[in-house]
Structure 1
């Protein structure tokens, strides 16, 4: 009995010592950075911007990989089956990880996702073709009020940030538009430029990519973007809309607390680098800094905001 107790104590002590050592040495080998979408999208672009800066602060290679499918759910449903040693991290997106499991069974719940940092968002932007009669947001709203349901707005997917933005504008402006979901930002833009829809809720990054082919009526940011200085915010036009697609980094739930905090701190170092911030802002991203310690409050706030429009979007707000 005493021998068994002694062995148990020794095993426990070795485990604790090993955990401390691994945390002290972290990171000591390459880190896999999994993007839950195809290459080329905003999540991938942001990760590629991060990559050299993360390699600088960690002293290790950052290997970007992709697991796409089901709007990110294919990857997120696999996250907790991966090794939680701090060397696997995955892109995490809002509102996806809240609205997806709220709407249906997608193989994971919101609480399954262990977010350690949210570092940026791409503000929703209301776009119209450059030749549109809608010169301003006021023109758009006035026409929509006079023609309930006739104004069509394209967006990337159902239950996405674009869908949320359309629903929110309908409520705040007391208008009724028709949201038409597409499989991604690119086909949504094609529909807009091809005259299939009258407007599109997309992101600031897409607005920059389209250049002179589109007119940006407003962006859902706290203040005007450096990359779109002549475009007003919804707030300055009287509509309390701030939001878009938020992107962060999550780890398997088995990852030790010490490693979670260390990884969060490393990402925070990158976010504080002026060169990184400029690259992001020039591309239309808004840099935010939500570390692991502030994650519970941030997620609670976002869940409340999304739940407030979920019913209007046709989602039953049951437990997720």
Structure 2
């Protein structure tokens, strides 16, 4: 038989797609991406953007499963206990991945997972109804100082980036607002549009994608966003607070190295895929790829910072 370049490439592709002799095929059933928040929120939409692109690279179905509750703890705990065979993954949100086990007797810890990839970073922001009397951060701070605990601040959970933005701002200014928790982005938007709360802590991407009747006073990125150059940073307004949601994908600790490597390679490809980049930009969110091992090494180094913050300003009480 004549061996051609096409023959060799076809054989190589078959080797990659098929399991090695005597080894089970993987995936042999749908791969689940478990999301700790309700459908329609930023984390859920990230997962749904990833799923069809990951399917193409794994050669099997990838489905998104929503398990909201406790600021993401319900979902993460379920994945921490899942069989580590690569069929059950989780989305993660920073800083919740680190802060939840610090603030409570959580059902998971960072070491229960291995990192596949960080996907995006999205700074948190402070947003009010367009008819709110608070037209600037100075207005909001002055009102909160004059009437402690009267102003209500909504977030998607204790220890989330949106909540810690408030914790740090209160520590800096000496003000005190009343924290109100909702399960996800849609509920937060409904609350602020219905005037049930005064201020919403939510990431700049979802706020910008649904900005009608909203006014964003400031955001907590290191610099102004190219998507919202009109929104000042808290730092430039004199409040040195930086906080953002980093959203990524993890697997249970103990996942076989070969499966983990395949997932990491596939996710690296997905995050660079023009279709993924386009969807993120349509949602005013910047992709930020970080390989799983390097990502988790960095997170392990950050744990001490959050423990110090907890000792200084225990956020569950605020």
Q: TM-score range by the shorter chain?
A: 0.7 to 0.9
Partner Cα separation in structure 2 for residue 259 and residue 238 of structure 1: 47
User: Are 2:255 and 1:251 equivalent residues in the alignment?
Assistant: no
Give unmatched runs, 5+ long, in structure 2: 1-18
Contact 2:41 2:186 in 1 (8 A): no
TM-score by length of 2: 0.80
Structure 2 counterparts to residues 73-92 of structure 1, below 5 A: 73-92=73-92
Shift of 1:291: 1.1
User: Are 2:205 and 1:205 equivalent residues in the alignment?
Assistant: yes
Structure 2 counterparts to residues 204-223 of structure 1, below 5 A: 204-223=204-223
Q: 1:138 to 1:69 in 2, by over 3 A?
A: closer
Contact 2:111 2:253 in 1 (8 A): no
Contact 1:227 1:283 in 2 (8 A): no
Aligned position for 1:53:
53
CA deviation profile, 1:26-75 (whole Å, cap 9, x unmatched): 66764332223333222221111112222333343322233344433233
CA deviation profile, 1:70-98 (whole Å, cap 9, x unmatched): 43323322324433222332222222232
User: Are 2:314 and 1:313 equivalent residues in the alignment?
Assistant: yes
CA deviation profile, 1:197-245 (whole Å, cap 9, x unmatched): 3322122234135423110011222333343232222233343333233
Q: Secondary structure at the match of 1:211?
A: coil
Which shows bigger deviation, 281-290 or 184-193?
Answer: 184-193
Aligned position for 2:263:
263
User: Are 2:170 and 1:177 equivalent residues in the alignment?
Assistant: no
Partner Cα separation in structure 2 for residue 283 and residue 256 of structure 1: 34
Q: Secondary structure at the match of 2:153?
A: strand
Q: 1:275 to 1:229 in 2, by over 3 A?
A: farther
Q: How many residues align?
A: 297
Partner Cα separation in structure 1 for residue 226 and residue 25 of structure 2: 39
Contact 2:141 2:175 in 1 (8 A): no
Contact 2:102 2:307 in 1 (8 A): no
Q: Secondary structure at the match of 2:98?
A: helix
Aligned position for 2:95:
95
Aligned position for 1:110:
110
Contact 1:92 1:115 in 2 (8 A): no
Which shows bigger deviation, 304-313 or 216-225?
Answer: 304-313
Q: Secondary structure at the match of 2:211?
A: helix
Q: Secondary structure at the match of 1:293?
A: helix
Q: Secondary structure at the match of 1:77?
A: helix
Q: Secondary structure at the match of 2:232?
A: coil
Aligned position for 2:8:
none
Shift of 1:265: 2.4
Q: Secondary structure at the match of 2:262?
A: helix
Partner Cα separation in structure 2 for residue 45 and residue 238 of structure 1: 33
Q: 1:56 to 1:123 in 2, by over 3 A?
A: same
Q: Secondary structure at the match of 2:84?
A: coil
User: Are 2:18 and 1:44 equivalent residues in the alignment?
Assistant: no
Q: 1:224 to 1:282 in 2, by over 3 A?
A: farther
